[in-house]
């Protein structure tokens, strides 16, 4: 195992804040301020602020006006259910939209601890209902809807996929980027990978904020690793090698396969938690977004228009002035 030089620099330079309800407002500001921006102008995708049945979001529409209705990915940002926003995940959503030809709705679901479970889950359901109906005025094909997210957002995506199956409203596929799925934090990677941009103490705060004591964590509706996975949509599961969440994500991919669900699982070697939304720092973020886009393109029943020309890489070369491995 070899930690990527940029990841090594990020881990060494990280300043940790002890998470608590008292520090949360500051942490939320820091997460927004630390959003990795792509060098130069953002990728050219029209963006519209929308109200998805009372839940705000950003709708990325890569297809020109007047073209055929396009499939849509409902994307759910990470941040431990307590931090993060659609604005902070702008870069990967733009790239996914351009590579796939799909629209992407990035949702600002309600955050814990002010709004614990099931508030965010209910917001996702509301947005899915909106995408299947009223969103048609934006050129959305409500018959081709996928769901995805990273970390805490990937948890919401897995729950949404199960609930949609049970409502007989199947989704095209699910995209799970280093998903947080085990509130018991029982996997080996919590020991071997603790502290590489995410640690056990942080995850304890996230889970406790999202699933307070009144919630039964053994309920299969709450913990995806305990759920019935049969009949779920095809899945793409991406994990990071140096991540406490690595093992539970890969275990979930194996459980999906055992349940007969088509699944593609990829481990991004040398990467740490959070790499996916930072294309300005990690070249793997661009590759991962392109993998998501290609997976979506292959799942569309009406293939979207191709991407016009090659998309730029977003990672600058390592600076000799800063030394090898510096961000």
Active site residue 243: yes
Average pLDDT over residues 256-276: 98
pLDDT of 127 > 60? The answer is yes
Q: At residue 281, does pLDDT exceed 80?
A: yes
Of 106, 151, 187, 300, the catalytic one is: 151
Active site residue 151: yes
Confidence at residue 17, expressed as pLDDT on a 0 to 100 scale: 86
- Chain centre distance of CA 195: 20
Q: What pLDDT band is residue 67 in, cutting at 50, 70 and 90?
A: confident
Q: Where are the domains of the chain?
A: 5-299
Rounded to two decimals, the pTM is 0.92
- Per-residue pLDDT band for 318 (boundaries 50, 70, 90) equals very low
Would you say 140 and 103 are in contact if contact means Cβ atoms under 8 Å apart? Answer: yes
Q: How far apart are the first and last CA of the chain?
A: 20
DSSP states of 193-258: TTTSS--HHHHHHHHHHHS-TTS-TT-TTT-GGGS--TTPPPEEEEEEEE-TTHHHHHHHHHHHHH
Q: Report CA-CA distances (Å) from 229 to 45, 149, 224, 261.
A: 35, 18, 8, 8
Band (322; pLDDT cuts 50, 70, 90):
very low
Residue 23 reports pLDDT greater than 90 = yes
Catalytic residue among 77, 243, 247, 300: 243
- The pLDDT > 70 percentage for the chain reads 89
pLDDT in tens, 196-246: 999 999 999 999 999 999 999 999 999 999 999 999 999 999 999 999 999
Active site residue: 141, 182, 273, 300, which one? 273
Average pLDDT estimate for 253-269:
98
Lowest mean pLDDT segment, chosen from 90-94, 160-164, 312-316: 312-316
Question: What is the phi-psi region of residue 197: left when phi exceeds 0, alpha when psi lies from -120 to 50, beta otherwise?
Answer: left
Q: Average model confidence (pLDDT) for the chain?
A: 90
Are 268 and 238 in contact by the 8 Å Cβ rule? The answer is yes
pLDDT class for 14, splitting at 50, 70, 90?
confident
Topology of domain 5-299 in CATH is Rossmann fold (3.40.50)
Question: Could you give the percent of the chain with pLDDT greater than 90?
Answer: 81
- Model confidence at 106: pLDDT above 90: yes
Tokens (6 digits) for 63: 């297809």
How far is CA 292 from each of CA 171, 175, 213, 217, 297, rounded to the nearest angstrom? 16, 7, 35, 30, 9
Q: Which of 5-19, 23-37, 128-142 has the highest mean pLDDT?
A: 128-142
């Amino acid at each position: 195992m070899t930690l990527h030089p940029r990841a090594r620099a990020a881990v060494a330079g990280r300043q940790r804040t002890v998470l608590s309800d008292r520090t949360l407002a500051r942490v939320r500001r820091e997460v927004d301020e630390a959003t990795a921006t792509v060098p130069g102008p953002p990728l050219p995708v029209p963006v519209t602020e929308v109200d998805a049945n009372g839940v705000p979001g950003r709708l990325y529409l890569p297809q020109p006006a007047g073209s055929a209705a396009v499939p849509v990915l409902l994307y759910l940002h990470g941040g431990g259910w307590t931090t993060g926003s659609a604005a902070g995940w702008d870069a990967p959503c733009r790239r996914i939209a351009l590579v796939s030809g799909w629209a992407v709705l990035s949702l600002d679901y309600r955050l814990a601890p002010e709004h614990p479970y099931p508030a965010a889950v209910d917001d996702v359901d509301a947005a899915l209902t909106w995408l299947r109906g009223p969103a048609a005025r934006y050129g959305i094909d409500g018959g081709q809807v996928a769901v995805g997210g990273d970390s805490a957002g990937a948890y919401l995506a897995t729950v949404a996929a199960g609930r949609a199956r049970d409502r007989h409203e199947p989704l095209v596929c699910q995209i799970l980027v280093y998903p947080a799925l085990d509130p018991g934090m029982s996997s080996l990677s919590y020991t071997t990978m603790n502290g590489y941009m995410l640690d056990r103490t942080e995850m304890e705060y996230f889970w406790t904020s999202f699933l307070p004591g009144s919630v039964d964590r053994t309920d299969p509706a709450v913990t995806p690793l305990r759920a019935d996975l049969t009949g779920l949509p095809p899945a793409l599961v991406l994990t990071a090698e140096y991540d406490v969440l690595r093992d539970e994500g890969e275990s979930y991919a194996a459980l999906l396969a055992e349940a007969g669900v088509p699944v593609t699982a990829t481990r991004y070697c040398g990467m740490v938690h959070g790499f996916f939304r930072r294309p300005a720092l990690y070249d793997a973020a661009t590759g991962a977004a392109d993998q998501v886009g290609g997976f979506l393109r292959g799942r569309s029943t009406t293939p979207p228009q191709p991407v016009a020309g090659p998309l730029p890489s977003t990672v600058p070369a390592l600076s000799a002035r800063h030394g090898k491995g510096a961000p």
